[in-house]
Amino acid sequence: MKKDFELKEKTAINFLKKYNKNAYVCFSGGKDSLVALDLAIKGGIDNVVFCDTTMEFQETLDYIRRVEEFYDIRVESVTAPVPFFELVYKIGVPSRRLRWCCKVYKFSPLAVFARENKVKSYITGLRSEENVRRKHYSKNDENHLIDSKQINPILDWSSQDIWDYIMRNNLPVNPLYNLGFKRIGCWPCPFKSKVDWSLIKKFFPDKSKLLDKTLRSILKNCEGVGIKNLDDFIKNFKWTAYSRPQNSELQGKIEFIDGTSLIHLENTSDLKKVEKIIPILSKEYEVIRNSIMIKSKLRKQSLKILVEKALNCVGCGTCVAFCKSLRIERNHLVVDSQNCTSCLRCIKTSTMRGACIMRNFSPYRIEIGTCQNFSVENEIPSLNSRVGLIRTRAKLEDIIEKLEKHAEIKKFTQYVSIKNGKLSATAYKSRGYVEIKIYPNNNDLEITMNYFRGIIT
Ligand code: SF4
Ligand code: SF4
């Protein structure tokens, strides 16, 4: 038995020696990462990083200092730009089905740290026994959000192996284990067991009350939306598996006119948010009142994702993990247009579900509509031009239905006349299209055209 154990230890140390160049141990303060750290130190690796998720127990933070003293090492600390409870009110409480927190508070800070410190591998205390998904992990693995290897030297160790190793080597353990906790780490973790929740209630009543208050405040309007009774929902930890349905709010429109792409938004402050990241897709653009005109025809889906990312962004910082050309400024994503190579990694849904934490998880997602039917004949009308022409594949009857609330409509055999305080227009069928000639009542054709498109799309 002893021989088996020594073999396991030796194998892990020899394995780690292969990765000791620019490797960092991810130390969480738990028993598994303590063993990984001890083995790594024996393998010649004493770089250590701790992810401060802003939801740590004070006992864990104090324990990190003890570990530093015990090994005579320095444990670097990384964190996300926004505190947990600030994001909880915007995105929702993390649950087993809404697991946004690890990306924001673990993967992203580690990715940034790896980039800044040229970290080649992260050593973890991951064990396959812990959950089914981890059975598919390998000892030399990857995380698609982090550009460095993930080395899992104790993947095949059992919980008993871990405790045996700690005892034999007389390692200092997190005092939370002495209170009975099975899991260390973020205290409001939805993966905690009922026993751990009862321990939190007993030993950390303030935390328990804070979570209760937050859940009540966030979920108070959700009774009837997958929640029958809020008290029961909170008391019996049903929130840990809850995913609130998404509501979308449409705040603008994308359209493609001949060779250009246009983004129209109701609000100019939203336009500024989009402008901050539009160079990801194109550096050739112009802002015209409530619209951004890009001088090329872009892919509809890429444009939609980019605009929705900009409009939904709460500055969680996850995007910064993808690229050093991205940064967070006043809670919003900004791109450094000089350095962005338009590789599009940051707007791909294969990199991150929904390409944005908020866009993917938030129950209050902002959307942008798209339409592709329109073409204006006098390409970009000059402000001196008096007539605009829209050509569309939409049905004349549908257009009339949309216009009826906004203008006086008169139908004639060959055409339809449209009039209101802002414009006069005629619409008629022509070679499979509907063409609409627009005559503004003021001198601003562009504004009138945008106003008209806004009604009929
Ligand atoms: S765009 Fe989305 S994922 Fe990126 S920082 Fe903003 S909220 Fe986070
Ligand atoms: S990931 Fe690519 S597209 Fe996004 S900011 Fe960086 S260089 Fe630009």
The Cα–Cα gap between 412 and 396 comes to 13
The reported pLDDT for the residue numbered 1 is 61
Name the CA dihedral angle for 355, 357, 359, 360, rounded to a multiple of 10 degrees: 80
The reported pLDDT for the residue numbered 213 is 95
**Domain 375-456, architecture per CATH:** 2-Layer Sandwich (3.30)
The reported pLDDT for the residue numbered 371 is 66
The reported pLDDT for the residue numbered 377 is 45
Kindly give the number of the ligand 1 atom that is closest to the alpha carbon of 316. 8
Intervals of the chain under pLDDT 50: 373-384
Ligand 1 centre and the CA of 77: distance in Å?
22
Kindly list the strands in the beta sheet with 260-265, ordered across the sheet, starting from the edge strand earlier in the chain: 285-288, 291-294, 260-265, 247-257, 364-371
The Cα–Cα gap between 4 and 453 comes to 75
Token pair in block for residue 23: 């490797």
Ligand 1 centre and the CA of 326: distance in Å?
10
Ligand 2 centre and the CA of 274: distance in Å?
15
The Cα–Cα gap between 31 and 159 comes to 9
Domains 2-179 and 375-456 share a fold: no
The reported pLDDT for the residue numbered 67 is 98
Q: Of all protein residues, whose CA lies closest to atom 4 belonging to ligand 2?
A: 346
Ligand 2 centre and the CA of 337: distance in Å?
9
Ligand 2 centre and the CA of 333: distance in Å?
12
The Cα–Cα gap between 3 and 354 comes to 50
139 CB burial (10 A radius; 0-12, 13-18, 19+)? middle
* DSSP secondary structure letter of residue 178: G
Q: Of all protein residues, whose CA lies closest to atom 6 belonging to ligand 2?
A: 323
Q: Of all protein residues, whose CA lies closest to atom 8 belonging to ligand 2?
A: 340
Ligand 1 centre and the CA of 420: distance in Å?
42
The distance of Cα 415 from the centroid of its chain, to the nearest Å, equals 49
Cβ atoms within 10 Å of 456's Cβ, excluding its own: 22
The residue among 240, 262, 25 whose CA lies nearest residue 126 is: 25
The SS3 call for residue 137 is coil
| Residues sharing a CB contact under 8 Å with residue 215, sequence separation 6 or more, in sequence order | 93, 234, 239
pTM confidence score: 0.79
- Which residues form the pocket of ligand 2, taking CB atoms under 6 Å from any ligand atom? 280, 322-323, 325-326, 335, 340-346
Token pair in block for residue 154: 């104790």
Token pair in block for residue 220: 């108070």
- In the chain, where the domains are located: 2-179, 247-371, 375-456
- Which residues form the pocket of ligand 1, taking CB atoms under 6 Å from any ligand atom? 309, 313-319, 333, 356-358
Kindly give the number of the ligand 2 atom that is closest to the alpha carbon of 279. 8
Site to substitute for ligand 1 among 89, 309, 353, most atoms within 8 A of C-beta: 309
The reported pLDDT for the residue numbered 380 is 42
CATH class, 2-179 region: alpha beta
Q: Of all protein residues, whose CA lies closest to atom 4 belonging to ligand 1?
A: 319
Ligand 1 centre and the CA of 117: distance in Å?
23
